[in-house]
Amino acid sequence: MHLLSVLLLFAATTGQAFALDSYADLVETLMPSVVNISTEKEAVADTDEGIDNFMLNPELKGRESLGSGFFIHKDGYILTNLHVIKGAKKISVITDDNESYTATIAGTDAPSDLAVLKIDLQQDEKPREVRPVVFGNAHDARIGDKVLVFGNPYGLGVSVSSGIISAKSRNIGLGSQQYLQTDAAINKGNSGGPMFNLDGEVIGVNAALFTSQGASGIGFALPSNTANWVSNQLMKDGKVRRGWLGFSVANGIDSYTGKPGFVITEIDEESPAYKEGLRVGEIISAYDDMPAADVADFLNYAETLEPGDMLRLKTLSFGEEFRTVIKIQDMPAQKLKDYTDKALKESRQRSVQDIDSEVFYISEFKIAVKEADPRGLAIVKIEKKSPLAGKGIKVGDVILEADRSDIYTADNLLDNIRTAVVNDFRPISLLIQSSDNAFYTSVELVNEND
């Protein structure tokens, strides 16, 4: 009798564990907030594909682009990616209960690749009620946290996949934005869909996938803090007003005190920061009572500052500490245009520079490369014995990173190679941008004597 009781207790406990491992209740609650989006595209005159390289390539006249989105307001506002609806002559939204609506564009923002749509909830005799999502704080998300990703993969309808946050503050070449990385399955058609934490809060917007096969692999999502800030402005004004700091920073250390922080590397003389006395070479040790520890976190924070906001800085100059308050201004029209153009340019397929550009031979990889625009090394030749051969890498592809370091010149790549050689010719991790996707691969070095 005692043994039977133990077995029954074990069975009950095991059953409860399985129930707790199920996401069914949470998914059932969240599913009505997610929508499918399809578009009919206008014919495109040029071959410049833009961000669609990552998720879609819907450039033929009449072809449908399939993507995802989610309700962000009870009045029928929907957030999605700009590249999902870019060039559309008609946008259709299909809700969880299979109702179809024609959507209008409330506003778009190229730098963040976001767009807000609106549907008429009064079109039926009985006005429809929608369930808007709740935005969470992506800054609080931790590597290893479980997430649920919703979307419309391959046009099959709203689906859900699970995974974890694999990394944060990833720069994947789409402007200056930082992204969350996940191993949750993100496929073509998931673009614009939400990434939820297990509290049912949106912490990201599906933006891109990196894979050599075009299916699920490494996925990226724009953090919710940026998405929430952008979408609120798009709902209100149809556009985004961006604040302007007017300076650039990098990680640095004050040589007088040994304190770490952000060193100011560039500053515009017309900027509010310059007018408040900041200069190149000074160290920012704190901003708005937060330590200057991570440049990516600072850039994400600065991205959401609006004109009129105040930014409080602690700076070090020749070892002396100063406190400065900067009033954020509107980004000047030309600089805003340059900022947007740069974001669009960097989202497009990398192009090789002129044929007269200097070609470098990398003997350890047995390849020839030349600098690409805006960054990276474009491969112009791959020898048969190259360790890159057989990895899906081809002439015209661009090396964007080596061992997680951005690559701009051949010297950048050679520095990483020298480090690997010193460490017994260990493999190097490369981020490769091809014509239709981007992916990481590990490459063995070739001894120059081979």
- Per-domain boundaries in the chain: 1-236, 243-330, 351-443
Predicted confidence (pLDDT) per residue in 297-343, tens digit: 888 788 778 888 899 999 988 888 899 999 888 777 666 566 555 54
What mean pLDDT is reported for the chain? 78
Contact 195, 147 (CB under 8 A): yes
Is the domain spanning 351-443 CATH 2.30.42.10? The answer is: yes
Q: Report the sign of the C-alpha dihedral through residues 328, 330, 335, 341, in that order.
A: positive
CA distance 316 to 314: 7
354 is catalytic: no
Predicted confidence (pLDDT) per residue in 198-216, tens digit: 999 999 998 876 654 444 4
1-236 against 351-443: fold identical? no
CA-based max dimension of the chain:
88
pTM (whole model) above 0.85: no
Residue 355: pLDDT above 90? no
> Strand 114-118 relative to strand 360-362: parallel, antiparallel, unpaired?
unpaired
Using alpha carbons only, what angle is made at residue 61 by residues 186 and 92, rounded to the nearest 5 degrees? 55
Is the domain spanning 1-236 CATH 3.40.50.1220? The answer is: no
Place of tokens 């992916």: 439
406 is catalytic: no
Q: CB within 8 A of 394, min separation 6: which ones?
A: 379, 382, 434
Contact 312, 289 (CB under 8 A): yes
Q: Which of 52, 83, 216, 386 is catalytic?
A: 83
Q: Which of 109, 113, 254, 397 is catalytic?
A: 113
Which H or E run contains 17? helix 2-21
The CATH class, in words, for 243-330 is mainly beta
Predicted confidence (pLDDT) per residue in 94-107, tens digit: 898 888 899 999 99
Q: Which of 191, 231, 271, 386 is catalytic?
A: 191
Residue 70: beta bridge partners?
34, 79
Contact 147, 190 (CB under 8 A): no
Q: What is the pLDDT of residue 195?
A: 94
113 is catalytic: yes
Q: What is the pLDDT of residue 1?
A: 47
Place of tokens 């490459």: 443
